[in-house]
Amino acid sequence: AYRTLDPAGIRAFLAAQPALAARLGGRPDEWRVREVSDGNLNNVFLIHGPAGGVCFKQSLPHVRVDPDWKMPLDRTAFEAAYLRAVRPHVGALTTELLHFDPDLFALVIECLDAHVVLRQGLMQGGDWPEAAAAIGRFVARATFRTSPLALKFEDASTLLAPFARNHTLTRITVDLVLTDPYHAHPRNHWLSPELDTTVAAFRADPNVRRRVGQMQARFLTCQQALLHGDLHTGSVMVAAHDTRVIDGEFALPGPIGFDCGLFVGNLLMHLFATPTPQGRTRALRDIGQFWTHFRQDFTTQWTDAVARDQAGDAYAAPLFRDDPASLHQVQARFLDEVETDTIAFAALEIIRRITGYAHIADFDVITDRAARAARQQAALHLARDLLAEPARIPTIAALLALAADRAG
Ligand code: SR1
Ligand code: MG
């Protein structure tokens, strides 16, 4: 029964759902339907009636920006499942799922009229001082609460198993993020020939190759928690005092540092792309805020769970409840490992967004070709160093110092 809905089809679809029609108010012919598709994969529409609005998102049988690239439809089903899994733990740090239609692969979520996409807002010079801390809390809660640190292993396994079958979008990540940029592949491209030698150099570097391979293995074998899976700055919507993570269609079980690394990697690219000193100061502040709040919130939840005897089977409460010093040590070691992963995945995200298939607007809007190439070059050099010399940059604090120095 699948068909791609046009505005008239969306109107009829919503009119047939009493709760959604009531949310919009008025008559269907009064509703305004506006396409706002922006990402690479799906159709997205905003619908407004006299009483309010909703957001309608539908899978296409192909990549939206490349109709020749055929693709199964199930990604919105994973997005709906992700929202159901994490919303109880993160509340209004994500959106409310209002409806999912498994035949049309269409989901309806609340409409965020007062918000803008964080990437677009940052590119326009905006500042959301609370957003990075909120994303830190989102990742801490969404991952801790879906991991065996918080769940009995049977419950963790039951929760994570369906997401391990998110094969289509995980394949995209394995190829586009973790593999293609490190060898010649027709999907790779970059705008400036000045980058050719930089790309050739990191591809030829055995230290880079070994580290990329290690991170491929971490991504595929380290199932610590349920991940968002595509947490770039285009997957975040912000208003003055409200931050929401959207677009959980890439959700999968994996290493927590992957979600952290994608967010940090995108802020690092903004750091190199932004033309103003204020923009650079904010980008560095946001990376620090994200990491501090992620780490604090994750630790607090873990400590509380152990104290309340509600911890999971990993680092089980009966062993650690009466030994806070050991609990503190194992927490620090666990999060140090997430920090190491975060730095490496941030580097992989930078490299793929400059030399792979899917680029980001932050760099693309720089019209002066030489300036753009110089900034991309600086970001690529940083990413290369993060991968090849992890002992030199072992912490987010060290990363911030180096990035501040390199970005000027
Ligand atoms: C074909 S999809 C390309 C990219 O867009 C998505 O947002 C993911 O980041 C993916 O890697
Ligand atoms: Mg997306």
Task: State whether the beta carbon of 39 lies less than 6 angstroms from ligand 1.
Answer: yes
pLDDT, tens digit (0-9, with 9 covering 90-100), for 37-96: 999 999 999 999 999 999 999 999 999 999 999 999 999 999 999 999 999 999 999 999
Task: State whether the beta carbon of 247 lies less than 6 angstroms from ligand 1.
Answer: no
- Mean pLDDT over 199-228 rounds to 98
The chain-wide mean pLDDT, for the chain, equals 97
- Give the confidence band of 255 by pLDDT, cuts at 50, 70, 90: very high
pLDDT at 408: 87
Task: State whether the beta carbon of 116 lies less than 6 angstroms from ligand 1.
Answer: no
Task: State whether the beta carbon of 41 lies less than 6 angstroms from ligand 1.
Answer: yes
What stretch(es) of the chain map to CATH 3.30.200.20?
Answer: 7-110
- The closest-lying atom of ligand 1 relative to the alpha carbon of residue 357 is 3
Give, using CA atoms, the residue closest to atom 8 of ligand 1. Answer: 230
Give, using CA atoms, the residue closest to atom 4 of ligand 1. Answer: 358
pLDDT at 191: 85
Task: State whether the beta carbon of 40 lies less than 6 angstroms from ligand 1.
Answer: yes
What stretch(es) of the chain map to CATH 3.90.1200.10?
Answer: 116-407
User: 237: helix, coil or strand?
Assistant: strand
In which element (H, E) is residue 176 found?
none
pLDDT, tens digit (0-9, with 9 covering 90-100), for 122-177: 999 999 999 999 999 999 999 999 999 999 999 999 999 999 999 999 999 999 99
Shortest CA distance to 91 belongs to which of 134, 127, 57? 134
Which of 230, 252, 269, 348 to mutate for ligand 1's pocket (most ligand atoms within 8 Å of CB)? 230
Instruction: Give the span between the Cα atoms of 27 and 49, in whole angstroms.
Output: 8
- Give the confidence band of 364 by pLDDT, cuts at 50, 70, 90: confident
Contact at 8 Å (CB) between 35 and 44? yes
pLDDT, tens digit (0-9, with 9 covering 90-100), for 179-212: 999 999 999 999 899 999 999 999 999 999 999 9
- Mean pLDDT over 15-23 rounds to 98
- Mean pLDDT over 21-34 rounds to 98
pLDDT, tens digit (0-9, with 9 covering 90-100), for 295-352: 999 999 999 999 999 999 999 999 999 999 999 999 999 999 999 999 999 999 999 9
DSSP conformation letters of 352-363: HHHHSS---HHH
Ligand at minimal distance from the CA of 37 is: 2
Contact at 8 Å (CB) between 110 and 54? yes
CB atoms within 10 A of CB 147: 22
| Cα of 23 from ligand 1 centre, angstroms | 32
Ligand at minimal distance from the CA of 169 is: 1
Per-chain residues with Cβ under 5 A from ion ligand 2? 39, 247
Q: What ipTM was estimated for this complex? A: 0.98
pLDDT, tens digit (0-9, with 9 covering 90-100), for 84-104: 999 999 999 999 999 999 999
Match 């380290």 to its residue by tokens: 222
What's the distance, CA 395 to chain centroid? 21
Give, using CA atoms, the residue closest to atom 9 of ligand 1. Answer: 230
Domain 7-110 fold is Phosphorylase Kinase; domain 1 (3.30.200)
| Cα of 272 from ligand 1 centre, angstroms | 21
- Give the confidence band of 365 by pLDDT, cuts at 50, 70, 90: confident
- The closest-lying atom of ligand 1 relative to the alpha carbon of residue 352 is 11
What residues contact residue 157 under an 8 Å CB cut-off, 6+ apart?
none
CB atoms within 10 A of CB 68: 6
pTM comes to 0.98
- Domain 116-407: give its CATH superfamily: Aminoglycoside phosphotransferase (APH), C-terminal lobe (3.90.1200.10)
Find the helix packing angle between 131-144 and 75-90, rounded to 10°: 100
pLDDT at 318: 93
| Cα of 361 from ligand 1 centre, angstroms | 13
- Please classify residue 78 by burial: count the beta carbons closer than 10 Å to its beta carbon, then call 0-12 exposed, 13-18 middle and 19+ buried: buried
CB atoms within 10 A of CB 125: 12
- The closest-lying atom of ligand 1 relative to the alpha carbon of residue 65 is 1
